[in-house]
Structure 1
């Protein structure tokens, strides 16, 4: 009875008023009864214009069943039942909340999104156990000062309101990890935000920000910073001090240059080598003539060596790898000075800007995996781009003249291959090439020995061959091979001799073949991180693929899969699954939730009749593509809002 006495201390009427008398049909008694047992109550989507008193007093009043039963079983002991800890009253028509909110001090989750609230009651300060507060999609113009009393708050969602400023003392929410202020009318971010030392995700998109405070760099744990759709013209260079930053979104602003991140403190030897390269950087390239001079070849070689050197130095300084999204701005030029300090970047999105060229210093971005240059004004590409290990390169919407459209249409690897071949063609003199050919065995004449020795690639692509000749594998000899490209052939099975390279290979491209099954030769490549199997005849994957414990990206697009292969759920290192243009009819959201590294899932153009709401719990997904499926919900308008909106929509529809 201690619980009743405690509640009686808060309200003198407690214990003398029967519950549920004012609820009518809006809150069934069975729902209240279940809530007393579980501590959770979901009243979402009930057209409520106010919260019934029986909800506020659920912890205070004696339930009706106490008056109906004189003998109680274990499940009917209402005096032992739990306090309400989770209350969901979203998707209603609430215009205000009363101070009776204080009668629910045990709440850890309060979800009131999608209502018509213009303010929050001052009694909210008494919810000292609150950890998650969702007040998104309302009409809040200001936050009560009392909200700063919620010291245990970890997640605060305020997107899609009418906020014009942030309350004083907001920095007192020292445990806050996830803060969403997107789609409001904020014009400034207070410097005091820097005191939110636990913050991991901060969404400031779709506001009216013209600048960011330099002090933001004190958020040492911040991983995701979203400033899309603002009025930013510059970014404070202090952002480079945010060692944990992994995602920086700056799309749809007014930037004219890449963020000027200063370099980390490097070794003195680095600085000396950098000076040499700066002197050489004044050498003029002539891409229109398709010819490099000898000194340009020397420069490219030194630049390539330097980027490897500086890359290792950056890793020694423990810089996090990050994504930088600056599409839809007004960037006209990429300067070497900016690229030099982005060495640890994984994704660079520059689509829809005003770029006219890409500098040769792009080779400094040795960690880069995805580069989007779509819809710019680029007429030529530097050949050095071919030496990057890109997995995705977007070039659509540019007036490119130095590379044929048919090569671009063949995809990223073919473009890189072409650019590398131009380096080879324009590099050594004819006499040197003749010497190299003379030293090559006749049986190796069909093999790209230069790619094996220099680029560590075993390339036998676009030959329309039904088998890979032994001479291709023989040409490897004692060289180290990290990539295999056997795409655009007529292979019906995995070449058995790939087993010989199992200790070395990390990238394998077998796309555009006639594979109908995957044999064990592929499953023994222990270092495999990237696998391209698109455009084949596959409908299943072998269970043995579970042994690929380093696999990060797999492309299964344009095959014949009717379900997501079960084995993929057990490869926990996977970060990207591309399985568009198949016949996939279902996915298992519970198993997918266990894939904590999965950030990209492409399910476009499949046969999904419904999207399970539980998929919304896969919060690590940054990109979820669902277009071209026959499901009715989520609607196209939701899909257009992006991955975060889709996941939130799905989570809101999980049955409780």
Structure 2
């Protein structure tokens, strides 16, 4: 039978392989041709299920243009090709890499991230010039021992795989500067990694680590260590020897104490939020003189030490969601602090309107609370004031009276306010009075002398069992801070009242009908009291914009409703009013 069809056209001798050839992945010849010149080939996002053989053999096989361009003066000098140094195969559907990878020994960068690789070829160890290897976002469960042969490797990205262990041989990659093992299933880290003395960034976040090897301290060049979202219960003391460390992330672990880092004097960021830390002492802060960011949110802190003032460079302090009842006044003297986050703390000595004014106003408030103690012999006597008397040496800070319109006599343990304090006011229109932290058993009678000007009175942390109607004579009073066992009746009779902060007392009931008469009341803080029920009629107090009820033993409204905010709580209460 003739091999030629009628018409003289010969059949394709490769016709039997046509279907198979059409299924083979192809790469435009233009890209291959350009890669021979530049030494770089980017095949990312092409839906490849395997790498074409022509890619592996790009510097081995004679290019097709050699058969068409035989002029030695041609513009395309196919024989003057550059070895491939950069190959990007990211975001494809590759399940494996061929052992022919060894045909690209000049590779400096290999990027195969975002594929479906479950293993690496042993030939990976022959890429001796490789400096950057990105295998992240694959399905690797193990690493070949040959990986340790990459003595020039500087960046190794293995995050978002399924690794359960890291071979100790990886400690032989002594040129490594960056190692990312985050988002795997690691339960331990080999002590051999301590040999990576040139490593500057190590990311171990989102694994299942319970401990860190003490040998990690041998990484003397390490500047960034990220152990976020693990199961760490403690930190090896040797970590304190990493004197180049600048950023330390320990968030979302099970730490119960802050690590002591006496030699980490270059540390700029310390993130230890979402742990179970209950104490921060002077020993934890004294040496961190370069710290700019301290993140302690979502812990169990009840106090901060005055030694926090050593953190002169601190710019951001996050204390959100702790158990802080007060703040050290020394905090106000941090010169570079720009952001102080305190939401979710049961602060008792600071009004919410002060907290809402921002960091700088709060720091000023903390500074103003610091006063030089007055001796017992001076409490009820007027000192001799001369031209050389400093404001801090006098019984009353007259400068604060004249310039800040503030009358302060707090934290003196006084049973009564000396007459000299009120006499110092003279004709100055004082707007703020702070008599907190004393031993007062009644509201000072002479406070009515300030009725025309004062609008802020702080009598907190005293022993006043009740208050008299003389407070009703303070015509401009809008803020009153006190501590009670029962809701004071007199508060119902001050129509100008804007804010009532009466949290952390033993109040058992409130009268919503009386509160409804306070038409200017916008903030009512009843947290941490003994309220067994919240009267539905409270929902009719339309002026209230901020209602805080957390920490009381009532069953309704439920916590889920409280979490939705004031508007939801008020709507809930109104819905329960009998019709």
For normalisation by structure 1, the TM-score amounts to 0.54
Unaligned regions of 5+ residues in structure 1, if any?
A: 1-20, 265-317, 449-656
Q: Aligned in 2, Cα 1:80/1:223: closer, same or farther, shift over 3 Å?
A: same
Q: Do the aligned partners of 2:25 and 2:49 also contact (CA within 8 Å) in 1?
A: no
Q: What is the Cα deviation at residue 237 of structure 1?
A: 1.6
Find the aligned partners of 1:51 and 1:433 in 2 and give their Cα distance: 90
Find the aligned partners of 1:335 and 1:83 in 2 and give their Cα distance: 59
2:270 alignment counterpart = 324
1:120 alignment counterpart = 120
Find the aligned partners of 2:385 and 2:366 in 1 and give their Cα distance: 18
Find the aligned partners of 1:204 and 1:427 in 2 and give their Cα distance: 54
Q: Do the aligned partners of 2:265 and 2:287 also contact (CA within 8 Å) in 1?
A: no
Q: Within the alignment, does 1:367 sit opposite 2:313 as a pair?
A: yes
Matches within 5 A, 1:169-188: 169-188=169-188
Q: What is the Cα deviation at residue 341 of structure 1?
A: 3.8
Q: Deviations over 1:595-634 (max 9, x none)?
A: xxxxxxxxxxxxxxxxxxxxxxxxxxxxxxxxxxxxxxxx
Q: Aligned in 2, Cα 1:56/1:423: closer, same or farther, shift over 3 Å?
A: same
Q: Do the aligned partners of 1:235 and 1:260 also contact (CA within 8 Å) in 2?
A: no
Q: Do the aligned partners of 1:181 and 1:205 also contact (CA within 8 Å) in 2?
A: yes
- Aligned to 1:202, the other structure's residue is in SS state strand
Q: Do the aligned partners of 2:265 and 2:289 also contact (CA within 8 Å) in 1?
A: no
- Aligned to 1:407, the other structure's residue is in SS state helix
Q: Do the aligned partners of 1:127 and 1:150 also contact (CA within 8 Å) in 2?
A: yes
Q: What is the Cα deviation at residue 373 of structure 1?
A: 0.2
1:335 alignment counterpart = 281
Work out which of the two has the higher radius of gyration on C-alpha atoms and give 1 or 2.
2
Q: What is the Cα deviation at residue 22 of structure 1?
A: 8.6
Find the aligned partners of 1:340 and 1:165 in 2 and give their Cα distance: 37
Q: Aligned in 2, Cα 1:156/1:75: closer, same or farther, shift over 3 Å?
A: farther
1:164 alignment counterpart = 164
Q: 1:347 aligns with which of 288, 293, 313?
A: 293
Find the aligned partners of 2:254 and 2:164 in 1 and give their Cα distance: 21
1:383 alignment counterpart = 329
For normalisation by structure 2, the TM-score amounts to 0.61
Misfit runs of 4+, over 4 Å: 21-25, 72-75, 425-434, 437-442
Q: Do the aligned partners of 2:194 and 2:217 also contact (CA within 8 Å) in 1?
A: yes
Matches within 5 A, 1:188-587: 188-261=188-261, 263=262, 319-389=265-335, 390-424=337-371, 431=383, 435-436=389-390, 446=403
If each structure's helix is expressed as a fraction of its own residues, which one has the higher value? 1
Q: Do the aligned partners of 2:267 and 2:288 also contact (CA within 8 Å) in 1?
A: no
Q: Deviations over 1:16-48 (max 9, x none)?
A: xxxxx9996731111111111111100001110
- Aligned to 1:416, the other structure's residue is in SS state helix
Matches within 5 A, 1:33-52: 33-52=33-52
Q: Aligned in 2, Cα 1:348/1:92: closer, same or farther, shift over 3 Å?
A: same
Q: Aligned in 2, Cα 1:119/1:371: closer, same or farther, shift over 3 Å?
A: same
Find the aligned partners of 2:278 and 2:292 in 1 and give their Cα distance: 22
Find the aligned partners of 1:136 and 1:56 in 2 and give their Cα distance: 21
- Aligned to 1:345, the other structure's residue is in SS state coil
Q: Do the aligned partners of 2:168 and 2:191 also contact (CA within 8 Å) in 1?
A: no
2:140 alignment counterpart = 140
Q: Aligned in 2, Cα 1:53/1:25: closer, same or farther, shift over 3 Å?
A: closer
Q: Within the alignment, does 1:54 sit opposite 2:54 as a pair?
A: yes
Q: Do the aligned partners of 1:145 and 1:168 also contact (CA within 8 Å) in 2?
A: no
Report the number of matched residues.
373
Q: What is the Cα deviation at residue 355 of structure 1?
A: 1.3
1:105 alignment counterpart = 105
Find the aligned partners of 1:207 and 1:363 in 2 and give their Cα distance: 35
Find the aligned partners of 2:58 and 2:384 in 1 and give their Cα distance: 87
Find the aligned partners of 1:96 and 1:74 in 2 and give their Cα distance: 39
Q: Aligned in 2, Cα 1:24/1:121: closer, same or farther, shift over 3 Å?
A: closer
Find the aligned partners of 1:170 and 1:413 in 2 and give their Cα distance: 49
Q: Aligned in 2, Cα 1:76/1:173: closer, same or farther, shift over 3 Å?
A: same
1:77 alignment counterpart = 77
Q: Do the aligned partners of 1:256 and 1:331 also contact (CA within 8 Å) in 2?
A: yes
Q: Do the aligned partners of 1:22 and 1:53 also contact (CA within 8 Å) in 2?
A: no
Q: Aligned in 2, Cα 1:201/1:73: closer, same or farther, shift over 3 Å?
A: farther
Find the aligned partners of 1:194 and 1:251 in 2 and give their Cα distance: 22
Mean Cα deviation higher: 49-58 or 319-328: 319-328
Find the aligned partners of 2:227 and 2:319 in 1 and give their Cα distance: 20
